[in-house]
């Protein structure tokens, strides 16, 4: 059975099981739980994966990771993919050009890649809570997609209460409606006055707040989290990178053993971390490409070795789910390369000085695996229009991945590549509309609302979108709280007392 250890304290005596890490994501020394080791697959083993369905592939990888999960429970969790557009292929691969492919990760119920992990994750965690007869409160902080996916996954689950924090005014209207129209009694949604970094910091502070945890315990409730600080999220995000590669082999886009690059629109670094772990498990990946928006903290870090938020202010962009400066999952990558002692040192520098710097030798290691580039809003919107003309409607985040992939291919940095498509365009319809208007594909319309933008784009593209999105506009917004961060603790406790 694999043990999970803290990124800041690799004392094997403090290792925990996968179930423990999922239920209690706050690791020693303020770190994050991560793998103590990863399996390394032979080429023969990787080839055998070609004969597996998505669910079978997940079972095979989880068995190899030695997570000690009950097989029946895992099968039950994987049944959540039956609610995707194609239950046999929840992550279909599309060909954009001879050397560029796109993995659709948004065919789940909330139309974002977070469903790929959070749908089965919710089944596992709620089952653990029910088996232990221990009520849990699940915290989630969201830049727009984690929140809806978490709420949908845990709605009406026994032994589960959910509190979702989102930056008020910092998401798209559709993302907000997916949260504020949530009627399940076990779900609480709170807008905070601040940005996503404030929401994520609030979540981490609550997870580490002994007084808050004591108050929860007095109510008979334990505390966990649904963000990618929870390793349970990351394990599911490893799977679809293997699936993408296998799909490219099966459709003849590459030959087995040929290396692909993976291009990921990146904010909190969880999605590309799954690709990083897949590469370290033997998947033939050339480069892991971080595609940043105007908040280019990650691309700067990969290119310079300096992670510096001391002088930065968050910029609101056309790709709001990536408007992040404190990318939590970078810490797990640092641990893999440099170990707990160095990771703790770097994280403490970030906390006290607002920055840290890698040594030249350390940066060289990172750049063996990673490349990075940023994309501004103008380039993002131009990429949306370009793809629309070629028959694909991209959301702004995926468009950033497209721009970076095309640019790096032209420069010869990468060759055959897969872009991760992270959300359905309908969640960001006004931005898509703006892109198409600029290129005179649509007629100009000032301050167009989400619902009208969706109708206009659907008519032009001769397409339809999911009922989950269209139904939002007729629902009442029942979750109306918007609070200062300082008010969160008392608000949550008072809400829990109503049960």
The tens digit of pLDDT for each residue in 286-295 reads: 999 999 999 9
Mean pLDDT of all residues in 139-162 = 95
Query: What pLDDT is stored for residue 446 in this prediction?
Result: 74
User: Do the first three CATH levels of 79-112+231-424 and 136-220+477-498 match, i.e. the same topology?
Assistant: yes
Mean pLDDT of all residues in 333-346 = 98
Tokens representing 328 are 């939590």
Mean pLDDT of all residues in 125-135 = 95
Report CA 347 to chain centroid distance, whole Å.
21
List CB contacts of 24: < 8 A, sequence separation 6 or more.
Answer: 16, 222, 224
Mean pLDDT of the chain: 96
Topology given in CATH for the domain delimited by 79-112+231-424: Rossmann fold (3.40.50)
pTM of the model: 0.96
The tens digit of pLDDT for each residue in 368-378 reads: 999 999 999 99
Query: What pLDDT is stored for residue 205 in this prediction?
Result: 93
Q: Where are the domains of the chain?
A: 79-112+231-424, 136-220+477-498
Distance CA 190, CA 298 (A): 28
Task: Give the angle 469-115-284 at the CA atoms, nearest 5°.
Answer: 130
CA distances from 359 to 325, 327, 425 (A): 21, 20, 40
Topology given in CATH for the domain delimited by 136-220+477-498: Rossmann fold (3.40.50)
Mean pLDDT of all residues in 196-207 = 92
Mean pLDDT of all residues in 396-420 = 98
Is a pLDDT exceeding 80 seen at residue 445?
A: no
Is a pLDDT exceeding 90 seen at residue 443?
A: no
Query: What pLDDT is stored for residue 146 in this prediction?
Result: 93
- Backbone CA torsion sign across 489, 494, 495, 496: positive
Tokens representing 282 are 């033997």
The tens digit of pLDDT for each residue in 446-476 reads: 778 899 999 999 999 999 999 999 999 999 9
The tens digit of pLDDT for each residue in 158-179 reads: 999 999 999 999 999 999 999 9
Query: What pLDDT is stored for residue 365 in this prediction?
Result: 98
The tens digit of pLDDT for each residue in 477-489 reads: 999 999 999 999 9
Is a pLDDT exceeding 80 seen at residue 110?
A: yes
List CB contacts of 19: < 8 A, sequence separation 6 or more.
Answer: 68, 69, 128
Q: Give the pLDDT band (50/70/90) at residue 1.
A: confident
Mean pLDDT of all residues in 210-222 = 96
Q: Is 486 buried (19+), middle (13-18) or exposed (0-12) by CB count in 10 A?
A: exposed
Query: What pLDDT is stored for residue 447 in this prediction?
Result: 78
Q: Give the pLDDT band (50/70/90) at residue 429.
A: very high
Q: Pick the closest to residue 332 from 3, 5, 2, 1 (CA basis).
A: 5
The tens digit of pLDDT for each residue in 228-252 reads: 999 999 999 999 999 999 999 999 9
Query: What pLDDT is stored for residue 2 in this prediction?
Result: 87
Is a pLDDT exceeding 80 seen at residue 121?
A: yes
CB 110 within 8 A of CB 152: yes
Nearest 10 degrees: Cα torsion 271, 95, 295, 456: -110
CB 33 within 8 A of CB 231: yes
């Amino acid at each position: 059975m694999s043990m999970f250890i803290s990124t800041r304290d690799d004392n094997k005596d403090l290792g925990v099981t996968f179930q423990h890490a999922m239920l209690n994501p706050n690791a020693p020394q303020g770190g994050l739980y991560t793998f103590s080791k990863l399996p390394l697959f032979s080429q023969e083993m990787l080839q055998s994966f070609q004969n597996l369905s998505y669910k079978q592939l997940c079972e095979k990888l989880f068995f190899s990771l030695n997570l000690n999960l009950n097989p029946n429970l895992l099968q039950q969790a994987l049944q959540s993919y039956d609610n995707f557009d194609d239950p046999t292929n929840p992550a279909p691969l599309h060909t954009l050009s001879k050397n560029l492919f796109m993995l659709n990760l948004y065919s789940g119920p909330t139309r974002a890649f977070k469903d790929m992990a959070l749908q089965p994750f919710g089944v596992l965690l709620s089952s653990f809570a029910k088996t232990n007869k221990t009520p849990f409160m699940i915290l989630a902080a969201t830049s727009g997609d984690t929140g809806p996916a978490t709420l949908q996954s845990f709605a009406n689950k026994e032994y589960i209460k959910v509190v979702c924090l989102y930056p008020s005014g910092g998401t798209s209207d559709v993302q907000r409606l997916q949260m504020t129209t949530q009627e399940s009694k076990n779900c609480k949604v709170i807008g905070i006055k601040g940005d996503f970094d404030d929401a994520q910091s609030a979540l981490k502070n609550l997870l580490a707040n002994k007084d808050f945890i004591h108050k929860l315990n007095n109510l008979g409730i334990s505390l966990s989290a649904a963000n990618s600080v929870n390793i349970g999220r990351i394990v599911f995000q490893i799977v679809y990178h293997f699936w993408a590669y296998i799909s490219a082999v099966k459709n003849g886009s590459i030959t087995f053993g040929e290396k692909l690059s993976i291009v990921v629109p990146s904010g909190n670094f969880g999605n590309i971390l799954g690709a990083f772990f897949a590469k370290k498990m033997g998947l033939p990946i050339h480069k892991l490409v971080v595609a940043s928006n105007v908040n280019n903290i990650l691309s700067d870090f990969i290119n310079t070795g300096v992670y510096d938020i001391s002088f930065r202010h968050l910029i609101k962009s056309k790709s709001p789910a990536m408007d992040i400066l404190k990318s939590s999952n970078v810490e797990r990558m640092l641990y893999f390369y440099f170990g707990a002692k160095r990771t703790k040192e770097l994280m403490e520098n970030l906390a006290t000085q607002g920055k840290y710097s890698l040594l030249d030798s350390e940066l060289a290691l990172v750049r063996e695996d990673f490349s990075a580039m940023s994309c501004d809003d103008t380039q993002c919107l131009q990429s949306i229009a370009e793809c629309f003309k070629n028959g694909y409607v991209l959301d702004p985040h995926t468009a950033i991945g497209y721009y970076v992939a095309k640019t790096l291919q032209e420069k010869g940095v990468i060759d055959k590549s897969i872009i991760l498509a992270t959300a359905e365009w309908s969640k960001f319809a006004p931005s898509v509309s703006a892109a198409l208007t600029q290129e005179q594909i649509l007629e100009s319309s000032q301050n167009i609302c989400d619902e009208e933008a969706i109708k206009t784009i659907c008519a032009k593209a001769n397409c339809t979108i999911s009922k989950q999105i269209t139904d939002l506009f007729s629902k009442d917004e029942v979750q109306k709280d918007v609070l200062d961060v300082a008010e969160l603790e008392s608000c949550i406790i008072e809400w829990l007392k109503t049960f």
